Structure formats: structure tokens, C-alpha cells
Structure 1
């Protein structure tokens, strides 16, 4: 019986990705990465989100265009104080320079949170282990400015879905492993959380929805935060040009808000299969759409494949906030949103956000 062999176009190769549907792939150019153009990943001025409705709608139109094309955009005039971000960056760098045994005080063999050592993470199981260290923590109402002084109002169904990860901060108080580490990271996280809540309201406007459409589902949001440390190579040659800082992947949640220092490493895969650098732009964050929002909008908004390559001499720090639906928000039968209003059939059936994220994680861990 004859068999057919798929032909891969010249100058292209396959990369494999994990998803909630199992393993998929993309065709990727073998050409060297190039810098993105302003049209491909635009810089959007957010000052209008603090203005009147017309000003907010103007920003919403820009975000909608970027979210439907590349799925990535920079934001400036975002309201996160520079000194708050720089303090978090400084303490993050100091933390990763600590002796290994000190960093290990903030780790657990049964959790993805806390400290993760060098090459202990693998975002894409078909690529190298990630050439980085990381410190991660999750959303907790006690650190949220909206609830820190009225924790008695947090519903039991929210509490029961929050991970019990007290070890994350056990030795990271201001008098423990690193003075000022916890307070610096939480100050930056709070500012990014506030900005994310403002952005999701702008995205609602962009989708022709009431501005508060997502408020109920993000009251106690998914708000995982990471400080990533990518060691520089110094004067040593890069031994493996295919070794990744973070393997090719898409993000799971509604959106990611990323701060990166002055050393480039982020690459975005465009619709032509080209890797593009998204180089650091002073005073900005990079925002990208996540899988959940893409599914919720009938795949109109794009959750785009990206990765990190760190082949530079200097150490690199990045700090992403993964903003999403509340971990306790069961949306069984959630209907997709059709921002084009063209009546297109849903790309996927209605779904449950509590189900989608764990299923994706299961697939990622089992696609070997």
C-alpha cells in the first residue's frame, strides 16, 4: 500500500508545539532572525486609557488591530513607575547571584513555584531544556491592593482553588534570604496587576463589549509572575546555537505583560514562519495575547508562538505577569465572542476555562 511523505518547502523546517489538543507543529524559516518592524509589533501609547471614553476607544482600536495581526504589541505611557520596575529588576539580579543553597530555600520538589534552577524548566519538550533560572509566585488576595485589608471578604470557593504555596515566601522576607526582595517584587507585581485590569477593560471595548464585561471573571485573577534570569555567555563561545532560553510556545492565559531589560532575547514567529526579534524598547512593556483569549474570540485575536534565545555576553532579566481568568471561575459552556460579528461558526465549541488550562498543561507534560 502506497504511503505519502509530507514535503517541507525549501528553506523551512518543522517545530513542534504542545497545546490543549495535543502536539501540533509550525513551519519555520531557516533564515536568521531579523528585527520586527513597527508595523509588525507596534508601540501603542496607553495614555488614553486614563482619559474619557472616546480616548479609551481610540486606544482600543489600536490594540484590536495589533491583537488580530501579530498578537504582540509594545505599550508606552502605561503608568507603571520606572523606579518600581527597576527596584524589582535590581533585587531579582541580586537574588540570582546568591549561592545555590540560599536560592534552594525557596523551592519545592512538588511545585512549579518558587525558585527553579538552571535548565530545570523545559517549555518545549522537543527542544533543549531552558537555559535559565527563574523565581515564580502566584496570585494571592493578601497581596492584592483591592483585598489586602479585607481578606475576610474573599469567598471560600476562591480560597480553595488557590495553591497552598507558603514556602515561596518563607525565607524571602526583608530580614531573610535577601533584604528587600519580597517587597520589591510585590510592588512591581501590584503595579502590573492594576495595569492588566485596566487593559482587559480596554480589550472589552475593542470587542464591542461593555467595558466591565470581564470584571467578574478577573476579580481574583490568574496572576502568576516570574523573574527570569538568562546567564550571559561572556567571552565563551556559544556551544549549541540551537539551545533555547525558553523553547517555542504560546501563553495559556488571557494576556501576558512582559518587562525586559536592555538585552534582547525575545523572538516572535510571524505568519510567514519567520523569527523576529522583539528588541527591548526603553519605557515599554511587551503585551501578547494568550490562548484563552484567542479561543474566547473565536480565534480572531492571535496567540502567537514565541521563544527566547540568549546568545549574548551579558546576563538578561525579564519579568512577565500572566494575567487570566480567576482560578475559581468555572465557565462551563462559555460562548465564544465573535468580534467581527460575521456569524462565523465557532472554531471550537463552548468550553470551560478551569478545564482548558489543566488540559493544556497535561498535554505539554505528555507530548514527549
Structure 2
């Protein structure tokens, strides 16, 4: 089986018809096992709604700088709010973008709640003085996306041979879903890091590409970057690490990145919605049927077992709850928020990163010594999976 060379497009209307649903589920299963990235069309959300969401989102970046900084992310411990250009870190490099992080409304954390409940809020909205319709438009859109994502999650369960409501136990009344509004300025060469290689850390994400620019790319099992160009009326769905963790690795969480637009192309805009699971959910694998697990093993065998180069965030045994892993990832991505609100956890993360860098350097030095010791100038072969890679984090970004 060759590595994927294009991103499949699935028609969600087929899942709503008894005559075509089984074919849809077969196509969905193939996408989950072999790609982990797909487009969905005929989502049930009117094109007029998508257009209004894009219009309001783009207008946000034209606000006065003082208004954007009034709701800067580091003002609150929730990682919700505005991030300046180049302020987020992915793969140890600054992302060349500015953005606004929003989420569904939840009560504020109390003293008896775990620390990761800080992620629930408070939200930070731009003033209605500047954008009178913004809050209403985005609250309504997040509710529509909640419905789409929950329906699609039930389809994922069915495609995997489980009951449609198999994932319900990972949702609760305090469920948080997130959304970003992102601007990628053109940077001159079109190859800079809009956002570096990463996986999304929540259950799944649904990207609305809000301008006609290319730049989003998914990585296949050969390490090649495959373009995901904008297609009007579609959402790009990416399997998140939360879903991969809950299915015991059966579903494919795919590495992706965004390249900055070339000079003169104008900024690229995107609006991803991130479906989460309960932050209190524990690390337990779903009861995925054996024949589906066997299909996934077959795919891995045919691609030499190569997954990708990004660190898997939800390592079973490291964190008890998904909320703990999510909080640590947010601190990695936004160290300015970490310095203000989570200094001890940020120090722990930086110490781990130093240890990883030291281990990577030691492996590189050992490989060089092995090359020198080979007779006749030969070079010792090292399998790609044996190489020590500098891990990258899972984040929410498109």
C-alpha cells in the first residue's frame, strides 16, 4: 500500500441516507486508518454562515492594537485570548501568525477543582464597540460545530465497528470545545513556518479555510508533505491525539503544518474548531473490534511501521487525565502564559526539553563516532526509527 498522495473528500450527506451510509462508513474507515486527514462537504451548515464567520474573523485583525492587547492571552490562565505575531512556539520555533483563541462558555474554576480546570475560562471577547456582531456569530457557529462534530464522532464509532454512542462516556456537561481565528502574514519566500509540524491535541478538528491561499500540508508515511488546498463549502477534518489515544492507536493522528504565504500573496486566514473530550476522562482504550485493529496493523506493516516524527502527547501512564496532558501542551505552546500563571510547570517542561536535547546530541555524536570507526571509510547504517529525534508537541493549530 502506497503512502497517501491526496486528501480524500467525503460527502456527509451520504451518512444521513440509509441507502448510502454503509458506503460512507467504508470510505471513512479507510481515511481513518490510512490518512487521518479528510475533507467533508455538505456539512449541514449553510455557506452563508461560513461566509459570515470568515468575514467577522478577518475583521478582528483590523482592530486597534490596544484593543487586541486588552484581551491578550497572558492576561488570564485559561489560554484563551489574543496572541501577538510570532508569540506561539511549535517545534521549538516561533510560529509566524497572530490569532484569537475562543472556547465554549463554562463556569470559572473553583479552589477545589483540579488545576487544569483553568482551561475552561474566562473567555476574552473583543468589544462590541468595534465588532457588534462578532460574539453572537461565533457563539452560534461553535454551537453548530458542536453538533456537526458530535454527529461525525458517532460516525467514526460506527466506522470502527462500535456502537454510535461509544464515545459518549468521554463527554460531560462541562465539555469544552475550542476555536481559533488565525492570520498568517505573507513573509517573502512562502516556505517559512506559519505553524510548524504538529498534531492536534484534542479529539478532532474541523478547519474552515477562510481565504484562497494554499499552505496547509499533511505528512504521509514516507515523510512527504501533501497539499490540502482550500475547497469552498468544505471543512478539513484532522484526527486528534485524543482520538488516537482513546482508540488505542487504531485511528491515525497525522502530522501537519502550515507554510507562510509568499510575498505579495496577502495573508492567509483559517478558522479551526477543536472538538474536545472531558478533561476528567482517564486514559483507557476503547473496545475496538479485533478485525479493525488487524486492518490498522496491516496498514502499518505495509508502510514499514512508520508513523511520523512528532511526539505522542497522550502517553498512557504519564498523565492520569486528559486535562493534565492538555494543560502541559498549552504551557509548551505559550510560555508567556506559563511564566505568569504556571512557573513551576514551565520550569519542569524546560528541564525535560534540556534533557531531550542532550540525549539527541549524544545520539548524534555516537553516530558520528560509529562512522569514523567503520573500515575503509564505510558508514554504519542506522534505521530511521533508531534515530533520536527532537520531539515536537501536539497543539491546536491550522
TM-score, reference length from structure 1: 0.74
Higher helix share: 2
Distance 2:120 2:169 in 1: 23
Counterpart of 2:17 in structure 1 is 51
Shift of 1:359: 4.8
Report matched runs for 1:230-249 at 5 Å: 230-233=184-187, 237-238=188-189, 243-249=192-198
Change (3 A) 1:219 1:67: same
Distance 1:199 1:301 in 2: 14
Change (3 A) 1:59 1:360: same
Report matched runs for 1:251-270 at 5 Å: 251-260=200-209, 261-270=211-220
Shift of 1:341: 3.6
Q: Any unmatched runs of 5+ in structure 2? A: 298-311, 334-348, 355-398
Change (3 A) 1:222 1:337: farther
Change (3 A) 1:164 1:217: closer
Please tell me whether residue 120 in structure 1 is matched to residue 87 in structure 2: yes
Please tell me whether residue 161 in structure 1 is matched to residue 130 in structure 2: no
Counterpart of 1:272 in structure 2 is 222
Distance 1:361 1:258 in 2: 19
Shift of 1:92: 1.1
Counterpart of 2:44 in structure 1 is 79
Count of paired positions: 305
Counterpart of 2:282 in structure 1 is 331
Change (3 A) 1:340 1:90: same
Please tell me whether residue 228 in structure 1 is matched to residue 182 in structure 2: yes
Please tell me whether residue 315 in structure 1 is matched to residue 267 in structure 2: yes
Q: CA contact under 8 A between 1:108 and 1:167: conserved in structure 2?
A: no
Distance 1:250 1:164 in 2: 21
Distance 1:298 1:134 in 2: 32
Change (3 A) 1:77 1:157: farther
Q: Any unmatched runs of 5+ in structure 1? A: 1-35, 143-155
Change (3 A) 1:101 1:282: same
Counterpart of 1:5 in structure 2 is none
Distance 1:103 1:292 in 2: 31
Please give the secondary structure, in 2, of the residue aligned with 1:298: coil
Runs of 4+ aligned residues of structure 1 deviating over 6 Å after TM superposition are none
Shift of 1:222: 3.2
Distance 1:85 1:61 in 2: 28
Change (3 A) 1:162 1:50: farther
Shift of 1:113: 1.1
Instruction: Give the root-mean-square deviation of aligned CA atoms.
Output: 3.0
Please give the secondary structure, in 2, of the residue aligned with 1:161: helix
Shift of 1:190: 1.7
Change (3 A) 1:205 1:242: same
Counterpart of 1:6 in structure 2 is none
Q: CA contact under 8 A between 1:330 and 1:352: conserved in structure 2?
A: yes
Change (3 A) 1:339 1:122: farther
Q: CA contact under 8 A between 1:59 and 1:202: conserved in structure 2?
A: no
Distance 1:180 1:79 in 2: 22
Distance 1:288 1:342 in 2: 20
Shift of 1:361: 4.7
Shift of 1:166: 3.4
Where relative contact order (Cα < 8 A, 6+ residues apart) is larger, the structure is: 1
Distance 1:291 1:301 in 2: 9
Please tell me whether residue 65 in structure 1 is matched to residue 30 in structure 2: yes
Shift of 1:325: 0.7
Distance 2:177 2:55 in 1: 22
Report matched runs for 1:344-363 at 5 Å: 352-361=321-330
1:133 to 81, 84, 98: 98
Q: CA contact under 8 A between 2:86 and 2:96: conserved in structure 1?
A: yes
